[in-house]
Structure 1
Amino acid sequence: MHFSELGLKAEIQRAVAEQGYDTPTPIQQQAIPAVLAGHDLMATAQTGTGKTAGFTLPILHLLASGSNDRLTRIAKTPRVLVLTPTRELAIQVEESVRTYGKHLPINSLAVFGGVGINPQIANLRRGVDILVATPGRLLDHVQQRTVDLSAIEIFVLDEADRMLDMGFIRDIRKVIALLPQKRQNLLFSATFSPEIRELAAGLLNKPVSVDVAPRNTAAETVTQKVIETDRERKKELLCHLFQTHGWHQVLVFARTKHGADALARTLDKAGIKAAAIHGDKSQGARTRVLSEFKEGKLVALVATDIAARGIDIDALPYVINYELPNVPEDYVHRIGRTGRAGMAGEAVSLVCHDERPQLKDIEKLIKRTLERVVIAGFEQSAVATPRPPQPPRGPRKPQPGRGAPAAKSGQNPGGPQKHRSGSRHR
């Protein structure tokens, strides 16, 4: 199939061609006709399947078609709302809108926390057709009466599974309650848990279901390996792997923000240019680090699970699980950052004794036993060494992007896009 067969406006087809695409991905082939026909959509799609273009292309077509053409429209209220779990995803979705809508008179804006709200208010006042937002900052605007959601025609809930993981369900329900009853709804999720299905049941009206990947399975284009070693040898092993394999542009996952910072420092000291990205970094720092990583100035980017949702690199070759996630579905999300758009990728997990239960859960989820690789000099000992005593921890404060109900601080993203801040397409 060719993009020309999908019935999209010539201006959109031109923009797609300018990005070097001529054949839609499987999710685009299924989702675009359904959205163009006005149906609600429930789509199972993993990272790297082209899902963003799968909804931005038909939405742009619908907004630019018919009697409600933007050229004759006077109202300045948003007509489309895309809700995303992280600021990085909001930025990338909005950039996709600008990329594919560059030849259309359509305005878009991304609003998210971590940056000043006043420039966003000014852009909203000038008029926006497509609003991409994170839940916390959107509710900030609602509270300040700087956004009007009464004219929303299409509502997109992107990465719904991550929304629930981050505790945004109450915020999502608040947003939905503000929307007009008559609208088109599109829900995208990498996995469909009972909680997601319950949410979908209350949101979608006779939806078309699109499933482009078996549920909870890892990308088939990713080679997955496990290196079993001791906890205290992991840092040394990771440096050894970098030095002996000639790796470049490697995404390394750590479980905590503190751990990500410490690991990045260790790699840097070993001569491996590295930086960390997580929720405690400012938006400016996160944007800068991502740009340096994409440009190849950094060899390694050490990330936590939430921050990594915004990393969209078309040919990312390697993902390293320095620590396994506690939730097995997060393993699928992690390795989905590589092996995208049919390209080969490699995922390596460093597993110590303590992580064997998580490894067992992951293998159960993906229904396969991962290949074990032994690295000479780093073999796992027969018995785990005791963990060092941990200092007592006081009560944790809610973190931005962790889904504190109706948080007032900003919570924190289809074809390749360049990374930039949520600017407004004019």
Structure 2
Amino acid sequence: MPPPPPPGAASGSTSISAASEPYVPPMTENEISAIRSRYLGVDKKKRKIRKMNDRKFVFDWDEQDDTYNAETPGAVGSQRQGAQIMFGRGHIAGMDDGGGVVPAGRRSSTEAMQLADPLERRKAAKSGLDERHWTEKKLEEMKERDWRIFREDFSIAARGGQIPHPLRSWAESIIPQQILDVIERIGYKDPSPIQRQAIPIGLQNRDIIGIAETGSGKTAAFVIPMLSFISKLPLFTDENRHLGPYSLILAPTRELAQQIESETKKFAGPLGFTCVSIVGGRAVEEQQFNLRAGAEIIIATPGRLKDVIERHVIVLSQCRYIVMDEADRMVNLGFEADLTFILDKLPSDTMEGEDQGEQMDVDGETMIKRGRTRVTTLFSATMPPPVERLAKKYLKRPAIITIGEAGRAVDTVEQKVEFANGDEKKKQRMLEILNSGVYSAPIIVFVNQKKTADMVAKDLQRAGWSAATLHSGKTQEQREAALQSLRSGDSDILVATDLAGRGIDVQDVTLVVNFQMANTIEAYVHRIGRTGRAGKQGTAITFLTNDDDEVMYDLRQEISKSPVSKVPIELAKHESAQHKVSKEMKRKRDAEDQG
């Protein structure tokens, strides 16, 4: 029995709803029968059901298997055309990607039948299909599909439950206005991928594990939520300034700590907060003097901070926000015990005036404990087992953010490899590259030993280049002077050990030369990450010898992942690049060669 006619059909009047909706052709009796037959199984012949133990393959097909009804009106031409007219072109719910229902006067009868059935045509006519890219939409028009594409565009992956949408721009964020004003004054145009996702999560006062490539803008990603957090705490007075800082940032090296201090001051200074660094190489008395008036933010290296805590120069009884930057590097440098000591000194009881229980955060999604003692954020390029132990012990239900592929070099660095045996051949080839005029200062040359750094720097100076050195044999003042000379242009080249491989930001480095290949692929990735920063293009040239066979396989894999690099034939065909060579295998092979 066909459905009743629409209201007003008998009298010839047009209904109000029909006037506002696009025209949809009425269903015929045959269309209704076809739909009823397909979806309700009416008037279908009983099919023969094969037994489970009947293993004979049947090549014949049953006419009931065919979804095409030859009697359907308008089904002209092939069966495929008829199926398309009735049930669309195979997309979800039989709906064609061509999407929109257009006025009847501007479409053919075939176009009118591209959707699966009249019900779906009506639904599409009401909702409309919006195929615009997310860049063309306003924030309130973004659908879940748009956010998925957005994350894919910036290689953002996040897990941990109730992850907020990433930032499309600074203006659309919920960052406090006074911090937005500082961001505009500093000149930050667009957030980096790690900033897009870490800042919204950080503003929820959640613990975070951030895994991002070097040079990705992590400092602002944790400084902005940290300042939003401490700006809601009581102002420093004579009654509370002696209780220690509100926030603590830990970094593996003095250079990185002082670089973070410089960046943090850009944000904290205009907001009225004080930043003090506590690092080795400086007298404890000097740092104690800097702390006399108190500081809301302290940036420190683990070893020196542990020392000043044991000397009772500082306490952490009101430290509420802690950041561990380059956590894997701190562990590699042997600071795991120091980190544990420091984290155990943080307050463990609920702060005075706070109640236990939970409250709903401003976005209405995340449950935040009001009695939380602290927010802990951990950033790392890789997640070795010691870092995982720290995270499990001190972070509570963290959100985990991964930008790109963990431990991988940035795509803006072209990686080149040349085989050169002996320091003399390396020196000759390096001077050819530098004198070619292709690469302009600043340039960084990496070596593995302090004595090699001094030797290479002297050779460069004899060749007429202005070179500075940076390694652990230098005093803190000498290290700072070397970095400053490269930044200011007084030195064209910095010759450094892995001390400068991580976290040191010198703008516009065009070339990194690995005079000696790093001992691990992780160190190599961080070395070449000194160039190609902030979206700019860079080049890394590595000199290899047969003694570097332990890392050749990993190096080949790393270069093959880069969209702007090509594995050289000599490396691709090298025996040690075909499979991973362990130290045991190398010792056994050397013993056989000597025997």
Alignment partner of 1:75 is 2:201: no
Q: Which residue, out of 511, 514, 522, partners 1:329? A: 522
Contact 2:501 2:526 in 1 (8 A): no
Name the CA distance, whole Å, in 2 between partners of 1:17 and 1:116.
37
215-224 or 352-361, larger mean C-alpha shift: 352-361
Aligned residues of 1:225 and 1:373 also touching (Cα < 8 A)? no
Which residue, 544, 553, 558 being the options, matches 1:360? 553
Cα separation, 1, equivalents of 2:556 and 2:340: 34
- Of residues 428, 432, 449, the one that matches 1:236 is 428
Match of 1:206 in 2: 397
Give the structure 2 partner of residue 190 of structure 1.
381
Q: 1:373 to 1:227 in 2, by over 3 A?
A: farther
Distance 2:460 2:310 in 1: 44
Alpha-carbon distance in 2 for matches of 1:373, 1:111: 48
Native 8 Å contact 1:228 1:373 kept in 2: no
Q: Which amino acid is the alignment partner of residue 404 of structure 2?
A: A
Q: How many residues align?
A: 373
Residue of structure 2 in register with 1:46 after alignment: 213
- Partners of 2:510 and 2:201 in 1: how far apart? 33
SS state at 1:2 partner: coil
Pairing 1:14-413 to 2, within 5 Å after superposition: 14-65=181-232, 68-70=233-235, 74-76=239-241, 77-181=244-348, 182-232=373-423, 233-247=425-439, 248-364=441-557, 368=561, 370-372=566-568
Pairwise CA distance, 1:31: 0.7
Q: Deviations over 1:10-29 (max 9, x none)?
A: 22212211221132111111
Q: CA deviation at 1:355?
A: 1.6
Q: Which range moves more in the overlay, 343-352 or 301-310?
A: 301-310
Deviation at 1:72, TM superposition (A): 7.1
2-structure distance, mates of 1:157, 1:316: 26
How much does 1:309 deviate? 2.7
Note the C-alpha offset of 1:310. 4.6
Please report the TM-score for the alignment, with normalisation by the length of structure 2. 0.60
Distance 1:336 1:203, change over 3 A: same
Normalising by the residue count of structure 1, what TM-score does the alignment of the two structures yield?
Answer: 0.84
In 2, the alpha carbon distance for the partners of 1:370 and 1:158 equals 32
Instruction: For residue 4 of structure 1, give the secondary structure of its aligned residue in structure 2.
Output: coil
SS of residue matched to 1:30: helix
- CA deviations on 1:306-330 (whole Å, 9 max, x unpaired) are 2343520232111111111111111
Aligned residue number for residue 582 of structure 2: none
Question: Does the C-alpha gap of structure 1 residues 308 and 289 become closer, same or farther in structure 2, counting only changes over 3 Å?
Answer: same
Other structure's SS at 2:489 match: coil
State which drifts further: 301-310 or 182-191.
Answer: 301-310
Deviation at 1:98, TM superposition (A): 0.8
- Give the AA of the match of 1:333: H
Determine if contact 2:274/2:296 at 8 Å carries over to the other structure. yes
Bigger RCO (CA 8 Å, 6+ sep): 1
Write the distance in 1 (CA, Å) between the matches of 2:507 and 2:442: 12
Cα 1:195–1:329, aligned 2, differ >3 Å: closer, same or farther?
A: same
Displacement, 1:366? 6.1
Please, what is the CA RMSD of the aligned residues? Answer: 1.9
Once the 2 structures are TM-superposed, how far is the Cα of residue 58 of structure 1 from its aligned partner?
Answer: 1.2
The residue identity in structure 2 corresponding to 1:226 is V
| Inter-CA distance 11–72: structure 2 relative to 1 (3 Å threshold) | farther
Cα distance between partner residues in 2 of 1:211 and 1:168: 24
Task: Show CA shifts across 1:354-387 (max 9, x none).
Answer: 123322233345654853389xxxxx9xxxxxxx
**CA 1:245–1:58: 2 relative to 1, 3 Å:** same
Contact persistence 2:559–2:566 (CA under 8 A) = no
| C-alpha separation in 2, matches of 1:86 and 1:163 | 8
Percent of aligned pairs sharing the same letter: 36
The answer to whether the Cα contact below 8 Å between 1:52 and 1:96 also exists between their aligned partners in 2 is yes
**Cα distance between partner residues in 1 of 2:264 and 2:504:** 17
Quick one: distance in 2 between partners of 1:282 and 1:22? 37
Cα offsets for 1:45-74 (capped at 9, x unmatched): 222111000000111111113xx2426784
| More deviation, 98-107/34-43 | 98-107
Q: What is aligned with 2:98?
A: none
Q: 2: CA distance between counterparts of 1:151 and 1:216? A: 34
SS at match of 1:223: strand
- Mapped to 1, the partners of 2:541 and 2:265 lie a distance apart of 35
Shift of 1:201: 1.0
Contact 2:470 2:499 (C-alpha < 8 Å) held by counterparts: no
User: Is the Cα contact below 8 Å between 2:261 and 2:299 reproduced in 1?
Assistant: yes
Higher deviation after alignment, 328-337 or 238-247: 238-247
**CA distance, structure 2, for counterparts of residue 9 and residue 320 of structure 1:** 43
Structure of higher CA gyration radius: 2
Native 8 Å contact 2:470 2:495 kept in 1: yes
Query: One-letter code of the match for 1:134?
Result: T
What SS is found at the alignment partner of 1:132?
strand
Partners of 1:58 and 1:5 in 2: how far apart? 16
Gaps of 5+ in 1: 375-379, 381-426
